[in-house]
Chains A and B, each alone.
Chain A
Amino acid sequence: MFVVALPVLVPLAGLALVVLLGRDDARARVLSVIATLATIAASVVLLLEWRGSDGILAWVAEGPSAVPVARLAADGLALPLVLLTALLGFVAVLASWTVTSRVRTHYALLLALQAAVTTVFLADDLVLFYVAWEAVLIPMFFLIGGWGHERRRHAAMKFFLYTFAGSALMLVGLLLIIFWGGGTTDLGAEVEALPTHVQTAVFWLLAAGMLVKLPVIGVHTWLPDAHTEAPTAGSVMLAGVLLKMGGYGLMRVAVPYAPQAFADAAWVLAVLGVGGIVYGAFLAFGQTDIKRLVAYSSVAHMGFVVLAIATGTALGYGAAMLGMVSHGLVAGLLFFLVGALYERTRTREMARLRGLVAAVPRWGGVFVFATLASLGLPGLSGFPGEFLTLAEAFSRWGGWIAVAGVGVVMAAVYGLAAVRRIGHGADAPEAACRDLTGREWLAAAVLGLPIVALGVAPGLVLSATERAFSALAAIGGGF
């Protein structure tokens, strides 16, 4: 089915158009909007096609080669993230409306990034998976370094080196899989179970790349710098989709190829997850820079994802997917809002921001909404995933998971404290600034509506992932 390739090819075509035709800035913008809207359409078409299929839609490029690398497949594990990427790609384009320097290049990089991330999610080939995984680094590196804030150069280098260090080790794991699997690079191929000691090596090598990407605590220190220094669109994509590659990779590759090792390692992941939930929340509370606060909250949210995956149950995987999609929407929205604020006030220091709900009520309203979603308020998208995660993790490991409860409380603490510090209170902000514009409303709505929809009906995601996760739980770990 060629339709599987569309979510990758459409942004690439858009990229080509922007490069060739986007001579003046306005045209580059319009072309990017069209390209990202078309990507959303393509993803929706893919979803609809997929609904009528038997669970997996695959597409293989017909080349002169007998072992194609360009092999894509869409299943329940990939589709929610493909759609998420399409949505956030559109929001990222809207978010970079105010970029004035090298506009064409900026949009070209954004579209390249979108194509690369989508390829990660759709890749049905181990080599292509890795190729796309690393290819993501290139546009992101240039986005951070070229359009970021004060310490952008440092942050760009750090982002690249840090995550490359993880994924280079992941490559070794992938190579082990290819070798022990008899040379096939087909991700969906049925291969004999790897020997136990190989599984252990494979799992941890893969985890090195994926856990850095997520990130889990200990290897998270690239994230606050990258998120904070990246331009708004970069932060939106980084938090919204790039982090999801880690969780996706664990479920797509690590668990199926090394189920035994995964089962043995599950408790480590759980400890890392709980640690992230608590540590990330405390760190978020300790920040003075609003963007860093949002960045650290991602560490906490990804802690939930790791914990959910560690449970090894279908419901746990479902929780991880819910958590990833939700965080993509919520963190995307938060970064978008913070970026919009920075454009107006030229500061991210919370000490210099105050009384914003009164000054910019619409911005304030959406910010409060996003904060509530971020702290896992039921009725909004964050809750179902977190709730399921805790329930499943508690079921598996019992009492000590309750430590995560500290993080749940702290999530409310840092979120509401941020609202209190910059949104509430009597003081007027230092400079009068404009409230959300129509374009910004659109971006907020594009993310806000799914946040509500998923909060009310998490089944929208879970019904898609049902088959994939049932199968995964059946292989996974023998828990």
Chain B
Amino acid sequence: MNVITAPAWLFWLPAAIALAAACAGLAADAAGRRAGALAIIFFGLAGAAGVAAYTAWMHPVQLALGDAFVVGRGFAGVAALGYLIAALGVLAGGSRLSRRSNGPGIGALMAFLAIASQALASALDLLSVLIALEIVAVGSYAVIAGARTDRSDEAAVRYFVQGAVATSLAVLGLALVHAFGGGAVDYGTLAVTMAQAPARPALLAMALLLAVFAFKLGAFPFHAWVPDAYETSEASGAAVLSSVPKVAALAAMFVLFRGAVFEADAFAVLANLAAALATASIVVGNLGALRQSSFARMLGYSGIAQVGYALIGLSAGDAGAGRAVLFGATYAVSVAAAFICAEALAVAEPRWNGTVAGMKGLGRRHPLIGVALAASMLSLTGIPLLIGFWGKLLVFLSAVGEGWTWLVIVGVIGSVVSFGYYGRVLKVAYFEEPDEALAVLGDEPGARGGSAAWAAAIAILLVIGGGVAPVAFGIEPMLRLLAVM
């Protein structure tokens, strides 16, 4: 990592904008202007995303705020993506949130999630990472519960219980590192001290921390919260939940596990553990998703599998772990787009029951949502000319380079299986005739998905534009924005 110290504002400016917007939004809400509050939060988040993206494009990876954080290139890119998706989440949820009293609060929570995710992705000491993880977790519980249904409350509580277990593991791991790392928690010191630490506790700490991240990412067998959480939260909330923290956690993992905290010997072990987690997640996630009738639950299971692809990258050395972050970013865009579509559909057709089967004829009734949905499904499958392909390609390429050919084969077979459920969505949406009742509903004036349709349009641009651009301009721009190496 580069030793140049960046101007501090590069790091805190986006967070500050987002924070200010969130606070201003809450204030506006207090003033009784719910729609205005959401608009403020949206534009604030968009601005934060813009600043972070500018940083990513213009500045190489460097340290900020002393040695506490890292910024530039992919680290800023991940942050930018977090703000952008949060903004889209607010935009998509706008129509429904603006009708509810806790709407602006949820919007602000999304902003907090994005801010915490930025911190998580770029923190350079273990304590900060774990604190950021906790903040993200708490924010997530709140977003889930924000749907204000019995089921969402239940899911939030369950997630919270499991999260408590994970937190205790995290504390345990931290304690081990702290004890054997000579009392330090910052990566710079740990890189030196952990080298002298006994192997056994170091490995133990690593396994514990890996389990914590596996939980946050939703890898099998730490996955159980995922389907419930996605299904019960509102689609706009799930758009953020399912994407932003994941990219951040992947980046944090990259920094922690590949940032010289653990010794070279440990890498071999880590690679194998990651490979095992990856295989299990890919198998379980893909198979589990096949039988789901609920769209969100299907995305939940498929998310487990997608984490598996990211973990393939973690197995594949430094380069691979960096690519895993990039994969996470492309996945985040795709899955957020999928949830945005769900939100738009829920707005356009309030009687939609959330199932895939309920999407019959969607492509014809709502062409815009249909195209966004098709693009996101194909992108999640990893089909070229959509953004998801490039993430997978790069992860698989580095894994092949490290000799993990069999793991890549598991990955591609998983991708094929995944079309079984992603493709089913397309089949239902495009090849089946709409139900009569819904068709009538769809013709109601104004039932076009509201602001969520705008979010869907932006998602189309991201998913297809991000997929086509590398063909025309090479992969370099994407790397420049999103690579953490």
Answer whether A and B touch in the complex at a CB cut-off of 8 Å.
Answer: yes
Binding site for B on A (CB under 8 A): 61, 63-70, 102, 127-128, 130-135, 137-138, 141-142, 145-146, 152-153, 156-157, 160-161, 164-165, 168-169, 171-172, 175-176, 178-179, 201
Tell me which of B424, B431, B472 has the highest count of chain A C-beta atoms within 10 A of its own C-beta: B431
Q: Which residues of A contact B364 (CB under 8 A)?
A: 102
- Which residue on chain A has the smallest CB distance to residue B467? A131
Q: Which residues of B contact A153 (CB under 8 A)?
A: 427, 431-432
> Residue B476 at the A interface, CB < 8 A?
yes
User: In whole Å, how far is A455's beta carbon from the nearest beta carbon of chain B?
Assistant: 38
Interface segment, B133-141, B183-191, B237-245, B412-420? B412-420
User: In whole Å, how far is B477's beta carbon from the nearest beta carbon of chain A?
Assistant: 7
User: In whole Å, how far is B101's beta carbon from the nearest beta carbon of chain A?
Assistant: 43
> Residue B385 at the A interface, CB < 8 A?
yes
Can you list 12 A-B pairs with a CB-CB distance of less than 8 A?
A61-B472, A65-B475, A68-B474, A69-B474, A130-B384, A153-B432, A161-B420, A165-B413, A168-B416, A171-B396, A172-B396, A175-B396
Judge whether A168 and B413 touch: CB under 8 Å. Answer: yes
User: In whole Å, how far is A379's beta carbon from the nearest beta carbon of chain B?
Assistant: 42
Judge whether A131 and B397 touch: CB under 8 Å. Answer: no
Interface segment, B48-56, B265-273, B401-409? B401-409
Judge whether A137 and B416 touch: CB under 8 Å. Answer: no
Judge whether B476 and A138 touch: CB under 8 Å. Answer: no
> How far is it, in angstroms, between the C-alpha of A201 and the C-alpha of B430 when the chains are bound?
38
Mark contacts of B350-383 with chain A using CB atoms, 8 A cut-off: 1 yes-contact digit, 0 otherwise.
0000000000000010000000000000100001
Judge whether B427 and A145 touch: CB under 8 Å. Answer: yes
Question: Which label, helix, strand, loop or mixed, suits the secondary structure of the B interface?
Answer: helix
Provided the pairs A161-B419, A179-B400, A201-B405 are in contact, do residues A142 and B383 lie with their beta carbons within 8 angstroms? no
Judge whether A175 and B400 touch: CB under 8 Å. Answer: yes
Tell me which of A130, A161, A171 has the highest count of chain B C-beta atoms within 10 A of its own C-beta: A171
Tell me which of A61, A130, A141, A161 has the highest count of chain B C-beta atoms within 10 A of its own C-beta: A141
> Residue B393 at the A interface, CB < 8 A?
yes
For the complex of A and B, list the 5 residue pairs with the smallest distance between their C-beta atoms, beginning with the closest: A65-B474, A168-B412, A131-B384, A65-B476, A63-B473
Provided the pairs A137-B383, A157-B427, A161-B416 are in contact, do residues A70 and B475 lie with their beta carbons within 8 angstroms? no
> Residue B288 at the A interface, CB < 8 A?
no
Judge whether A64 and B423 touch: CB under 8 Å. Answer: no
> How far is it, in angstroms, between the C-alpha of A281 and the C-alpha of B431 when the chains are bound?
33
Q: Which residues of B contact A160 (CB under 8 A)?
A: 419, 423
> Residue B259 at the A interface, CB < 8 A?
no
Contact pick for A67, options B393, B419, B427, B474, CB 8 Å: B474
User: In whole Å, how far is A41's beta carbon from the nearest beta carbon of chain B?
Assistant: 24
> How far is it, in angstroms, between the C-alpha of A138 and the C-alpha of B471 when the chains are bound?
17
Provided the pairs A61-B472, A67-B476, A142-B430 are in contact, do residues A175 and B423 lie with their beta carbons within 8 angstroms? no
User: In whole Å, how far is A200's beta carbon from the nearest beta carbon of chain B?
Assistant: 12
Q: Which residues of B contact A133 (CB under 8 A)?
A: 384
Mark contacts of B454-485 with chain A using CB atoms, 8 A cut-off: 1 yes-contact digit, 0 otherwise.
00000000000000001111111100000000
- Which residue on chain B has the smallest CB distance to residue A119? B471
> Residue B222 at the A interface, CB < 8 A?
no
Judge whether A169 and B423 touch: CB under 8 Å. Answer: no
Provided the pairs A134-B383, A138-B383, A153-B432 are in contact, do residues A169 and B475 lie with their beta carbons within 8 angstroms? no
- Which residue on chain A has the smallest CB distance to residue B375? A138
Judge whether B409 and A146 touch: CB under 8 Å. Answer: no
- Which residue on chain B has the smallest CB distance to residue A68? B474
Q: Which residues of B contact A102 (CB under 8 A)?
A: 364
> How far is it, in angstroms, between the C-alpha of A69 and the C-alpha of B473 when the chains are bound?
7
Q: Which residues of A contact B472 (CB under 8 A)?
A: 61, 63, 69-70
Q: Which residues of A contact B473 (CB under 8 A)?
A: 61, 63-65
> How far is it, in angstroms, between the C-alpha of A178 and the C-alpha of B472 when the chains are bound?
20
Judge whether B427 and A66 touch: CB under 8 Å. Answer: no
Q: Which residues of A contact B471 (CB under 8 A)?
A: 69-70, 128, 131
Contact pick for B431, options A61, A145, A179, CB 8 Å: A145
> How far is it, in angstroms, between the C-alpha of A63 and the C-alpha of B468 when the chains are bound?
13
Judge whether A179 and B416 touch: CB under 8 Å. Answer: no
User: In whole Å, how far is B473's beta carbon from the nearest beta carbon of chain A?
Assistant: 4
Contact pick for B408, options A63, A128, A137, A172, CB 8 Å: A172
> How far is it, in angstroms, between the C-alpha of A127 and the C-alpha of B413 when the chains are bound?
19
Judge whether B397 and A175 touch: CB under 8 Å. Answer: yes
Q: Which residues of B contact A146 (CB under 8 A)?
A: 430-431
User: In whole Å, how far is A64's beta carbon from the nearest beta carbon of chain B?
Assistant: 6
Judge whether B397 and A178 touch: CB under 8 Å. Answer: yes
Provided the pairs A63-B472, A66-B476 are in contact, do residues A135 and B430 lie with their beta carbons within 8 angstroms? no
> Residue B247 at the A interface, CB < 8 A?
no
Q: Which residues of B contact A172 (CB under 8 A)?
A: 396, 400, 405, 408-409, 412
> How far is it, in angstroms, between the C-alpha of A333 and the C-alpha of B166 when the chains are bound?
64
> Residue B215 at the A interface, CB < 8 A?
no
User: In whole Å, how far is A180's beta carbon from the nearest beta carbon of chain B?
Assistant: 9
> How far is it, in angstroms, between the C-alpha of A134 and the C-alpha of B432 when the chains are bound?
24
Q: Which residues of A contact B180 (CB under 8 A)?
A: none
Provided the pairs A63-B473, A69-B474, A145-B427 are in contact, do residues A134 and B412 lie with their beta carbons within 8 angstroms? no
User: In whole Å, how far is A140's beta carbon from the nearest beta carbon of chain B?
Assistant: 12
User: In whole Å, how far is A195's beta carbon from the nearest beta carbon of chain B?
Assistant: 13
- Which residue on chain B has the smallest CB distance to residue A161? B419
User: Other than the known A157-B423, A168-B412, A172-B405, what 6 A-B pairs have Cβ atoms closer than 8 Å?
Assistant: A66-B474, A70-B474, A131-B471, A145-B430, A164-B383, A168-B415
